[in-house]
Chains A and B, each alone.
Chain A
């Protein structure tokens, strides 16, 4: 069965610090998809990125970067030079090919202090 673990329940940093949110997943499928979502205080989940299992290339988007490593079953998310607006709960999720439900981790609450 698929499973996503976000071991960090809460992280607090000061503005401009870099921060990495960890995500470890379990799956028996060879084809699967990994996602990160942001849930700001307003509550609406915002899609950030999707990574396919067959594409281990890391990705950078502005201050955001993602490190996908199949060898350690991890899909970590780094925010560089964090800002107060980055404060939110971040969810990592896994979807297996042919499986309808997306399994979410418990989320990591990030607080960025000015």
Chain B
């Protein structure tokens, strides 16, 4: 597709379960970002991938969070042993130069 896509659009899970969120960036974009947006809040940076370089994981809130980017394209954000405070919208963005283009997000609800 033309834009950034994310799946699933909604995910409801039970506390303690693991979840995987997927992001398909815009074709040709070398940079990929993950953000978290809690209800009514701004965006919190989580992780950044640029080409084949080591990712910048400085925004990950705990070791329960991890992300991979395979083949320089699709990325998966994994949250292990989910907690209720993980409930948020997880946004993915990709960029070629500076401007970031965002996907529709995955709304995660941890019961």
A contacts, CB < 8 Å to B: 33, 35, 37, 42-47, 50, 91, 93, 95, 100-107
| Alpha-carbon distance A104/B91, docked complex (angstroms) | 13
**Which B residues, 7 to 51, have Cβ-Cβ distances below 8 Å to chain A?**
33, 41-43, 45, 48, 50
**B41 touching A45 by the CB < 8 A rule?**
no
A91: nearest chain-B partner, CB-CB: B42
What CA separation (Å) do A37 and B37 show in the bound complex? 14
Across chains A and B, the number of contacting residue pairs, with CB separation under 8 Å, is 47
B58 adjacent to A45 (CB under 8 Å): no
CB distance from A75 to the nearest CB of B (A): 15
Complex interface: chain B residues within 8 A of A46 (CB):
102
**Inter-subunit contact A101/B56 (CB<8 Å):** yes
Cβ of B39 to closest chain A Cβ, rounded Å: 12
Q: Would A35 and B56 be within 8 Å (CB), given that A45-B91, A101-B45, A106-B41 are in contact? A: no
User: Of B65-73, B79-87, B93-101, which binds chain A?
Assistant: B93-101
Residues of A within 8 A of B99 (CB): 35, 47, 50
Contact A45 B48 (CB under 8 A): no
Q: Are A101 and B98 in contact (CB under 8 A)?
A: no
| Complex CA–CA separation, A107 to B103 (angstroms) | 18
**Which one of A35, A42, A95, A102 has the greatest number of beta carbons of chain B within 10 Å?**
A102
Q: A44-B105, A91-B43, A106-B41 are in contact. Are A101 and B59 (CB under 8 A)?
A: yes
Q: Give the CA-CA distance A103 to B44 in the complex, in Å.
A: 8
